[in-house]
A and B are shown apart, each in its own frame.
Chain A
Amino acid sequence: MVQFSVIDEQGMTHPVEAPADMGLSLMEILKASDYPVLATCGGMALCATCHVEFTEGLERLPEANDAELDMIDTLPNAVNASRLACQIRIGEHLQNAVIRLRGDGN
């Protein structure tokens, strides 16, 4: 299991625990934990509703691929620590990360 924190839209921090060995994405874990992540495109880096900002732990993640960078680059509220949760596998690299939800919860 990996432990990390999620800051919701109200600014509240919640601890989250997720299995590292099931091949899930961070988007799937956030959705399953009932955070307001729409994931309209089902995880294809096409909708940005899973946009998150890593306030801690960004440097430990594998780099974003082109599709992810292309999408992030079109967002009005993107920051340097922006990532798409659907493109991030749950794994040890997320241990102790702090993740702020930035997507559009509709």
Chain B
Amino acid sequence: MITTDICIIGAGPVGLFSVFEAGLLKMRCHLIDALPQVGGQLSEIYPKKPIYDIPGFPEVKAQELVDNLMEQIRPFNPTFTLGERVERLKQMEDGSFILYTSDATEIHAKVVVIAGGLGCFEPRKPELPQLEKFEKRGVEYMVKDPEKFRNKRIVLAGGGDSALDWTLFLANVAERVTLVHRSESFRGAPDSAEKVVELAKEGKIDLVLNAQLTGLEGEDHLKAITLSTSGQSQRIEADYLIPLFGLSPKLGPIADWNLNIDKNAVEVNTFDYSTNIPGIYAIGDINTYPGKLKLILCGFHEAALMCQSAFKYVYPDQKLSFKYTTVNGVNAF
């Protein structure tokens, strides 16, 4: 089990900056994020867009801000669990918490900080009857281990970069790869698109354009998919369907933790951004209070005040004295 002072759910900008504020008060942090990379919305939705309202930065690209935050918190040696979703948390008798992730990682922490933004980034799913029944029984939204698909018949669906890239990759692994796409051409990276079309011409993969998935067939496991191509229906035998339609955030398990929730956001006390459960705080886009603005700047402010309050759970016997960074500098762990 991982042990830490503060466990931060969400490694977006607000979760990352919390590590710095906590570090100044000698509190250690562990961060968990469902995404395989840090940065939250900035890295996932708009890495190359310039942001203009970060104090002291007339202009900074979203990914650059994330990289800078990582640099800023490095002295405090935060630890990370990435690519796993926090599913459950349990409060112990002494008031501390154990958090459980989707991959059964357990983290013990004195304080929990929810910096979950708009929620967990999850795959966009096609609207298909029985889709849920076949999830993990032939329907996969991610290629975690390509070996799983060796010598199998795979259908990929989607037209973006990841659909193109995985088609190219799996063409050499799977027995047969079929790529299904709704329109006539691809808008993803032109050279990947060209290669895919080339492979199809050589007969190494099947390309089905202007097509919509319509159904799934099978008993315990996927056996075939059906689709419609300009009004005509078609059936393709397949061991796996991999729909790749990008990610979108969903509140997810946080809704079930007995926190006060209003319109997909956690209600907090603006004194210290504490929730209705002592020891659990919520900061950044995930919280709500009168006058809330979903801005990075506001999340940073919330992180600073939250840490002042969290201190009493980590060091119950110590009195907190406030010091500027200019006075003490940054004392690494």
Contact B49 A44 (CB under 8 A): yes
Contact B158 A74 (CB under 8 A): yes
CB neighbours (8 Å) of A44 from chain B are 46, 49
CB neighbours (8 Å) of B246 from chain A are 74-75
Contact A46 B248 (CB under 8 A): no
* Interchain CA distance A49-B264 in the complex, whole Å: 15
Asked whether A77 and B126 contact (CB < 8 A) given A41-B46, A46-B46, A49-B248, the answer is yes
Residue in B118, B158, B160 whose beta carbon sits within 8 Å of that of A40 in the complex: B118
CB neighbours (8 Å) of B159 from chain A are 73-74
Give the number of residues in B that approach A within 8 Å (Cβ atoms).
25
Is residue B127 contacting chain A, with contact meaning CB distance below 8 A?
yes
Nearest B residue to A105 by beta-carbon distance?
Answer: B264
Distance in Å from the Cβ of A21 to the closest Cβ of chain B?
28
Chain A residues touching B, majority SS: loop
Is residue B250 contacting chain A, with contact meaning CB distance below 8 A?
yes
Contact A48 B248 (CB under 8 A): yes
Is residue B124 contacting chain A, with contact meaning CB distance below 8 A?
yes
* Interchain CA distance A49-B251 in the complex, whole Å: 14
Is residue B183 contacting chain A, with contact meaning CB distance below 8 A?
yes
* Interchain CA distance A75-B118 in the complex, whole Å: 19
Contact B182 A104 (CB under 8 A): no
Is residue B15 contacting chain A, with contact meaning CB distance below 8 A?
no
Contact A78 B45 (CB under 8 A): no
Is residue A63 contacting chain B, with contact meaning CB distance below 8 A?
no
Contact B45 A46 (CB under 8 A): yes
Interface residues of A in 33-65 (CB under 8 A from B): 38, 40-41, 44, 46-49
Contact A106 B251 (CB under 8 A): yes
CB neighbours (8 Å) of A106 from chain B are 118-119, 249-251, 264
Is residue B166 contacting chain A, with contact meaning CB distance below 8 A?
no
Nearest B residue to A48 by beta-carbon distance?
Answer: B248
* Interchain CA distance A106-B245 in the complex, whole Å: 17
The 3 closest A-B pairs by CB, nearest first: A76-B126, A76-B245, A74-B160
Interface of B toward A, CB cutoff 8 Å = 41, 45-46, 49, 118-119, 124-127, 157-160, 182-183, 187, 243, 245-246, 248-251, 264
